[in-house]
Amino acid sequence: MSNRIVWIDFIKSVAIILVIIIHSSSPILYQYPAVNINNWDFANLYDSMSRMAVPLFLMTTGALLLNSKTESLSSFYKKRFFKVLLPLLIWSLVYILYKYFILKNNLNILDHFLKSLLRPEYYHLWYLYMIIGIYLFLPIFKIFVSHSNTNLQIYFILLWVLSVSVLPTIQKFTNYEVYDFIPMTYGYIGYVLLGYLLFNKSIFQKISKKLFIFSILCTLICIGIIYNGTYLLSQNSMQFNGYFYEDLTLTTIIVSIFSFITLKYIGLKITSPTLILIIKHISKASLGIYLIHPIFLDILRSKKIGIELSSLNGNTLYMIPLTALAVFILSFIIIHLIRKTKVGLYITP
């Protein structure tokens, strides 16, 4: 699978923009109920529209890696070291230095770097630890995929949904304490298998217009549930409650599946060489953009470059997309330049 797949590049490009929208929205959400309710509502709407961001990345990972050729464990992990573990070490150090020199945090650099081997040094770096966990399990999962049929794979997905979503939801909204008796299906691994299924199965090979329209409708319904559910839970508790934002809730799982189908349909229709080239560059830079974008969010929020651009300043209806756009452009430019250097691919693979 050495040739790039346009629709996968397109999904990854959309996903990284959604991640930035989430992080542009979140500062206003945690100020409920003190913040202006209209501004909070728009922040809730933007965030609700973006919850499929991380699942989309994982689904593209499954679509690619579970279809890749069989390779030895040493070969597999040698590639993954340079793609994930090395960037994790580098960016952990970057954020330690950032906190020490820029944010003026009083910390022991060496102590924090050693601790970063076990826990994220900055809020968004959790994703790399999760990916490392996925990669540790992936060689075993590839054997399962290659020796099982669709029915067995769907059975695993159903067990996964029951474990990570249905049982926790029952416990949250009832008085029953529910014991999770299926630990083997816990975590994000189900998204990887979903990506594989949506890549390979015939109904998703060439998505029909009817399925596309149906997927859009399901996506909008799920976004509505996430938006209203977040509002009602926050209103009832009189503080922000982001339960419906979580990556493993049933609504997020469903909206991620139908968003994937919707974006795949659109991506399959892209034929412009210029647009394909732009999407390819964004997709290649997506991990780097993810890693660096919180710095630009901080810079714009603190007026360090002479302007203030933040969801906390002005009407969130337009400030959130403006902030996200500015952060995306700045992040892309810097990562694109870094990738052109000799060491760039080790920093932002």
**pLDDT tens figures, 108-120:** 999 999 999 999 9
Residue ranges per structural domain of the chain: 6-347
What's residue 68's pLDDT? 83
3-state secondary structure of 106: coil
For helices 316-339 and 6-29, give the axis angle rounded to 10 degrees: 130
- Which residue type occupies 348? T
Show the low-confidence residues of the chain (pLDDT under 50).
1-2
Q: Which two tokens stand for residue 143?
A: 């054997």
Radius of gyration of the chain (CA): 20
Which 8-state DSSP code applies to residue 3?
S
What's residue 305's pLDDT? 65
Q: What's the CA gap between 302 and 294, in Å, rounded?
A: 12
CA-to-CA separations, 112 to 19, 82, 109, in angstroms, rounded: 26, 22, 5
Q: What's the CA gap between 253 and 70, in Å, rounded?
A: 29
User: Residue ranges of the alpha helices (H) in 126-208?
Assistant: 126-146, 150-161, 167-173, 189-200, 202-205
Of the candidates 21, 23, 6, which has an alpha carbon nearest to the alpha carbon of residue 60? Answer: 6
For residue 323, give every residue at least 6 positions away whose Cβ sits within 8 Å of its Cβ, in sequence order, or none. 24, 297, 300, 309, 310, 311
Contact indicator for 199, 63 with CB cutoff of 8 Å = yes
What's residue 206's pLDDT? 86
- Which residue type occupies 327? V
What's residue 1's pLDDT? 39
Q: What's the CA gap between 112 and 96, in Å, rounded?
A: 7
Q: What's the CA gap between 335 and 329, in Å, rounded?
A: 10
DSSP output for 11-47 = HHHHHHHHHHHHHHHHHHHTTTTTS-HHHHHHHHHHH
What's residue 302's pLDDT? 84
Which 8-state DSSP code applies to residue 246?
S
pTM, full prediction: 0.95
Of the candidates 2, 57, 45, 66, which has an alpha carbon nearest to the alpha carbon of residue 260? Answer: 57
Q: How far apart are the first and last CA of the chain?
A: 17
